[in-house]
Each structure stands twice: as structure tokens, then as C-alpha cells.
Amino acid sequence: MPARPSPRLASLCAHVLLLGALTITSAAAQPRPAAAPRPVAARGPLGAEELNQIAVFRAASPSVVHITSLGLQRDLFSLDVQQVPQGTGSGFVWDTQGHVVTNFHVIENASAARVTLADQSSHRARLVGVFPERDLAVLKIDAPAGTLRPLPLGTSADLQVGQRVFAIGNPFGLDQTMTTGIVSALDRQIESVNRRTIRGAIQTDAAINPGNSGGPLLDSAGRLIGVNTAIFSPSGASAGIGFSIPVDEVNRIVPRLIRDGRFVRPAMGAAYAPQELNRALELPRGVAVVRVQPGSPAERAGLRPFMRGERGIVAGDVITALDGRPVANTDDLFTLLEQRQPGDTVMLTLWRAGSTRRQAVKLAAPED
């Protein structure tokens, strides 16, 4: 049977072990020298595409503005009415007179709006005019001309699928951001806030998110080619399918909003039937005239409306084309009329009781 160690020897061994543990712990607690930072690799010159994107943003961003629409709210306790933010969007400077272009839906139902320029100065805006059918609105601010940088205008008539584009705006209320993409498709149709069809829309995969509405779509030269207006996304965030109103439409509408305070569509002085009448009477594709105002251009041109007679419906005129361009419904007709001015003469193609004729009509201003 082995001999048991004496209590004195056991105590001595425990003391030695404790000193060893303290020594190890003390050594581990000593700070180690910091590792040397890794050397930074040389970047080299930026690529031509990167330099172009940087140049476009620097040139265009001073023209892009942030818009806050204001609504009225009554205090629950004091019953005081005050203006509170109800939405945000983007816009851009149109000219040095202080006109700013944005989407109609950005300021729809607002009691007032404020425009924040790129230098962070904020200005109260007044409404100049709107055209909901194209989701466009014009505001005006009183700002020093030196702070107003209009965007150079391009054209949308010669755009090509695959062309590089840039979108600048204030998504989610953040500061100016730029996204890049290409023209994904042309001549798309989207629906305006009042259910009218916007034709010729530009489709792009450049990320467009809430807050980008009303901001510019630019080409690689930094020219305005569209106004970002809508996205197609179940989640409400960018899904790579965005739409812009083509600049040729914008440049046609905005000057008239500035001049007249509204967009005046010339009229012929006639009322038109819904498409159900064409189907019920087996009429050709077109717009059936159902009323002609006395003394109107339509009456002077000899247009005859469909009427109910003793023996049934008396045949009238169906407008099938305007200046040689087909008219399938009232949306087509109104779109073509919007491209004319009061006083212009248009050539209608009319169908009546199986025969076709052409008739010139001088357009007039609509009655208020």
C-alpha cells in the first residue's frame, strides 16, 4: 500500500501549481503587438464609362429638386389647422424663371408644396398648371436665378432599346441618388391617375423607387429624355420595370401649362359614344358622333350624329382617322387632338352607312 504524502508536502505542491497558473494567466493577459495594416493596392485610372457616369451626376444633380407636398391637419385638442407633410417626390428645374416640373400625382390633393434645391435651400412653391392625363405638373418658386440650373433637353424620338440611361431623384426621402440602366422597351402604354392611357412611355430597368417620381431620366450625354412616373412592382419597390414620360411629350405640354395655366385640348364641338355602341350596331372601329353643338366646327363641317328615329337608330358619322392616323376609340382621338392647337385644321376620315369620306375641320378652343 503506497504511503500517503504528508500534509506539509501536499500544501507545498498546491502552492507551486498556483504560482504556475498565475504565471500562465499573466503571460496570456499581455497585449500582443498590432498586426501591420495590409498595403493598399493601386486603383489605377477610372474607366471611361465610370468617368461619364460621374460627369453626368455632377452636371445634372444641381437641377434635381426634392418636393414635399403639404396637407391640412386639425389638432385634436386645440382644433387649430396646420400644414403637415403628406408626401415627397422629385422634380427638376425647367428654366431660370423658377419653373419646376414634377408628376401630378406627387402634388395631387396637396394644399401647398415646398421645393428643396440641391444647395438645401427650401422655397415655397405655387402651382402653375397640371395635366393629369400625362401625369405632369408645373410649380414655380422664387429663387435667385444663380441657384436655378435647368436641365438640357434631349429628344425621345430617336431612342433605341439598349441605350444607357440614368435616373436621379430622392427615393425614400434620401438625398440625391443616381441609378443606371438601359432603355428596356419603347412605346409602352401606362395608365394615368385619371385612367387615360399614356402612350409612348419609355420602359427602363434603372431602379425607380418611391420618391423618384417626377425626377429626370437622362441619356449618356446628361440630357433629359423622360420624366420618371411609375414602376411595376407587387412590393412597391423597384423590380427593374420602371416607366418614364417621353421628353417630346413633356416639351409639348409644359410650355402650354406655363403659358395658359392649363393644357387646352382643341375641340370640334361634338360628343362621342362609348365603344359599346359600335359593338351593338356592328359599326367599324372608330368613334361614333352622338351630338353636335350648334355653331361648332363639327356642325360647320357637316358632321351628323347618330340619333334615335321613329324606325330605330338613324346612322351618323364614325371618325375612323385623323390626319391619316387611325382612331379606334376616344382615347386615340383625344391624344391626337392634344397634339394640335386651337385654330389648326385637321382632316377627318368619316364612315357613314357603309361609305367613307374625308372632311376638313378647323379646331376651336373648348368652351369653359
Q: What would the grid cell of residue 112 be?
A: 401647398
Identified catalytic residue from 66, 69, 90, 105: 105
The verdict on residue 11 lying in a domain is no
Whether 6 sits among the annotated catalytic residues: the reply is no
* Boundary of a domain, candidates 213, 235, 260: 260
Q: What would the grid cell of residue 315 be?
A: 346612322
pLDDT along the chain (368 residues), means of 10: 53 50 52 82 88 93 88 47 60 94 88 86 91 92 90 92 92 76 90 78 86 89 91 58 90 91 88 87 91 92 88 88 92 88 93 93 81
Whether 105 sits among the annotated catalytic residues: the reply is yes
The verdict on residue 316 lying in a domain is yes
249, 176, 160, 167: which is closest to 216 by C-alpha?
Answer: 167
Residues 6+ apart with CB under 8 A from 16: none
Residues 6+ apart with CB under 8 A from 140: 97, 98, 99, 100, 125, 126, 128
Predicted pLDDT at 286: 93
66, 115, 94: which is closest to 247 by C-alpha?
Answer: 94
Q: What is the DSSP letter of 308?
A: E
Most distant CA atoms of the chain, gap in Å: 136
Whether residue 106 is found in the same domain as residue 176:
no
Whether residue 82 is found in the same domain as residue 142:
yes
* Boundary of a domain, candidates 260, 290, 317: 260
Whether residue 241 is found in the same domain as residue 292:
no
Predicted pLDDT at 35: 82
The verdict on residue 131 lying in a domain is yes
The verdict on residue 314 lying in a domain is yes
Look up residue 293 and give its amino acid. Q
Rounded to whole angstroms, how far apart are CA atoms 66 and 92?
8
228, 270, 265: which is closest to 245 by C-alpha?
Answer: 228
Rounded to whole angstroms, how far apart are CA atoms 254 and 127?
13
Total structural domains within the chain: 3
What predicted TM-score, i.e. pTM, was given to this entire model?
0.73
Predicted pLDDT at 236: 54
Whether residue 254 is found in the same domain as residue 277:
no
User: Phi, psi at residue 357, to the nearest 5°?
Assistant: -145, 170
The verdict on residue 320 lying in a domain is yes
Whether residue 285 is found in the same domain as residue 255:
no
Identified catalytic residue from 69, 213, 238, 296: 213
Predicted pLDDT at 38: 86
Whether residue 277 is found in the same domain as residue 256:
no
The verdict on residue 244 lying in a domain is yes
Helix (H, G, I), strand (E, B) or coil at 108: coil
Whether residue 202 is found in the same domain as residue 284:
no
The verdict on residue 121 lying in a domain is yes
CATH code of the domain containing 235: 2.40.10.10
CATH code of the domain containing 274: 2.30.42.10
Whether residue 279 is found in the same domain as residue 248:
no
User: Phi, psi at residue 322, to the nearest 5°?
Assistant: -130, 120
Predicted pLDDT at 3: 53
Whether residue 69 is found in the same domain as residue 130:
yes
* Boundary of a domain, candidates 93, 112, 147: 147
Angle at 334 between CA 333 and CA 337, to 5 degrees: 90
Whether residue 238 is found in the same domain as residue 279:
no
Whether residue 133 is found in the same domain as residue 188:
no
The verdict on residue 169 lying in a domain is yes
Identified catalytic residue from 63, 90, 123, 135: 135
Q: What would the grid cell of residue 227 be?
A: 420624366
266, 261, 225: which is closest to 243 by C-alpha?
Answer: 225
Rounded to whole angstroms, how far apart are CA atoms 55 and 334?
40
What is the domain extent for residue 110? 58-147
Whether 213 sits among the annotated catalytic residues: the reply is yes
Predicted pLDDT at 365: 85
